[in-house]
């Protein structure tokens, strides 16, 4: 079990993450919105959690910088979030040993990286968490509901009292090019900005 109890800052957590090479793949930690200062007391608006880094993320060293990252940037403009941090459940790049292509992290990888993710949430203390895709959604909620049903019924969950919102991973939308995501993102914007008691569960 990875010991994170003594970690007090995101910088320390990042340094620990760099040493965790159990799976032998490249590691990518997180990135913050322009102007966000980890050292100030400004509370983070949203922690965005994806699945795992891919080839583009490994090449540049930051999460969500490829085609998925470009689509996410469009969503963030519509969401009008002041400050955010983007991370993944798995910090290492999962590669299919046969096809050598990106793949989902398996259960061992998810369990290995959970303590790091939980520590990120503790240190960042975001107002909201946005889970993108099935892996992050199920990792934080343990829900058995389909992600499509959760999105369409606007279900909300909590992690340590922090509201969790759920949406498709950008890569899923890119694979389904005819899907009109704009109404969903505008709905998320509305829900982010509603008072707690007004949000439909």
Of residues 34 and 48, the one with the higher pLDDT is 48
Q: Examine the pLDDT at 198 and tell me if it is beyond 50.
A: no
- At residue 199, the pLDDT reads 36
For strand 31-32 and strand 84-88, is the pairing parallel, antiparallel, or unpaired?
antiparallel
CB 140 within 8 A of CB 157: yes
Q: What is the SS3 assignment for 32?
A: strand
Residue 197 — very low, low, confident or very high, per pLDDT cuts 50/70/90? very low
Least confident of 57-71, 92-106, 184-198: 184-198
Domain 10-194 class, CATH top level: alpha beta
pLDDT in tens, 51-71: 999 989 999 999 999 899 999
Average pLDDT, the chain: 90
Q: Give 128's strand partners.
A: 46
The backbone torsions φ and ψ at residue 2, rounded to the nearest 5 degrees and listed phi first, read -75, 130
DSSP string covering 71-90: HHHHHHHHHT-SSEEEEES-
Beta strands in the chain (DSSP E): 31-32, 46-50, 84-88, 128-132, 157-159, 162-167
Q: What is the mean pLDDT of residues 169-183?
A: 92
The residue extents of the domains of the chain are 10-194
């Amino acid at each position: 079990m990875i010991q994170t109890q003594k970690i007090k800052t995101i910088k320390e957590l990042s340094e620990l993450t760099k040493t965790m090479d159990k799976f032998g793949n490249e590691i990518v930690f997180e990135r913050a919105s322009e102007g966000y200062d980890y050292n100030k007391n400004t509370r983070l608006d949203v922690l965005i959690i994806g699945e795992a880094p891919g080839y583009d993320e490994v090449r540049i060293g930051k999460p969500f910088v490829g085609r998925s990252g470009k689509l996410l940037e469009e969503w963030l403009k519509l969401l009008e979030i002041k400050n955010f941090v983007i991370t993944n459940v798995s910090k290492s790049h999962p590669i299919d040993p046969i096809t050598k292509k990106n793949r989902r992290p398996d259960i061992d990888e998810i369990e290995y990286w959970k303590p790091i993710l939980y520590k990120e949430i503790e240190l960042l203390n975001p107002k909201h968490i946005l889970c993108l895709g099935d892996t992050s959604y199920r990792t934080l909620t343990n829900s058995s509901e389909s992600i499509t049903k959760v999105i369409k019924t606007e279900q909300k969950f909590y992690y340590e009292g922090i509201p969790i919102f759920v949406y498709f991973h950008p890569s899923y939308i890119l694979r389904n090019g005819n899907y009109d995501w704009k109404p969903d993102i505008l709905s998320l914007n509305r829900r982010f900005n509603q008072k707690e008691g007004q949000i439909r569960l």
